[in-house]
Structure 1
Amino acid sequence: MPQMVSFLYRSLCRAADKVIYPLLPAFARPAWNHPAGPKTVFFWAPTIKWCLVIAGLADLARPAEKLSFSQNTALLVTGAIWTRYSFVIVPINYYLASVCSCVGAIGFIQLSRIAHYQYKHPQITEGF
């Protein structure tokens, strides 16, 4: 099965090289073949991870009492860890660093909202 997926992936990259690469402007061609370019997981994993940022932004509309402390702590911690990791790996992946720092920032903002709510409503959050 993995061999079939690899074959399919390589075939798709070759087809894209024939169709898309000639259409690219000269300034975009180096990015196409970059070690962290769109033909690698270093590009697609962060692209999909932007969904976490979008979901976090959507949660800004939720009331603070309905936010999950553990979920947002996980977002903050994983955002910080993976931001650091993206500067350690080769090639250095600035795209991954940007999305992970945004994930961490969303986690921090939501945790700040939770803390502010608990500070303003201590009688409600005693057992929290």
Structure 2
Amino acid sequence: MAASSSRLMQFWNHPAGPKTIHFWAPTFKWGITLANVADFWRPADRISYPQQTAVTATGLIWSRFSTQITPVNYNLLTVNAFMAVTGIYQLSRKLRLDYGEQLGLSPKIPAPKAVK
């Protein structure tokens, strides 16, 4: 019991713990990432190049930044890595729709199956 209490106190008092903006900002940023995942089921012609470029760029830039600060903020790193990956996937869907035929690719990437 004492070990778990001690770990909880370490987490609570950590410089990037729940008493700081360094915890809550990345936690709420997961909402953007989850919204991008929800857009996997939208038609590729509804994907916006500027939006997905911004999502990808911010994910890549802030992932790098989160490894350079002290203490390393793993919550910030994880959310931005996922943001970059989802942005890259969405851009690949849009590029394949718009330019896939010229490259000899099928223009559609099948949408993921909905979980029931």
Identity %, equivalent residues = 44
Match 2:7 to one of 17, 27, 35: 27
What one-letter code is carried by the residue in structure 2 that aligns with 1:28? L
Match 2:53 to one of 46, 57, 73: 73
Aligned mates of 2:71, 2:51 — CA distance in 1: 30
Residue 31 of structure 2: aligned partner: 51
Tell me how many residue pairs correspond in the alignment. 99
Higher alpha-carbon deviation: 68-77 or 113-122: 113-122
Residue 89 of structure 1: aligned partner: 69
- Where 1:91 maps in the other structure, the secondary structure is coil
Residue 39 of structure 1: aligned partner: 19
Residue 102 of structure 1: aligned partner: 82
* Offset at residue 121 of structure 1 (A): 5.4
* Offset at residue 55 of structure 1 (A): 0.6
TM-score by length of 1: 0.73
Structure whose alpha-carbon radius of gyration is higher: 1
Match 2:40 to one of 60, 74, 77: 60
What one-letter code is carried by the residue in structure 1 that aligns with 2:31? C
Q: Which runs of 5+ in 1 are unaligned?
A: 1-23, 123-128
TM-score by length of 2: 0.80
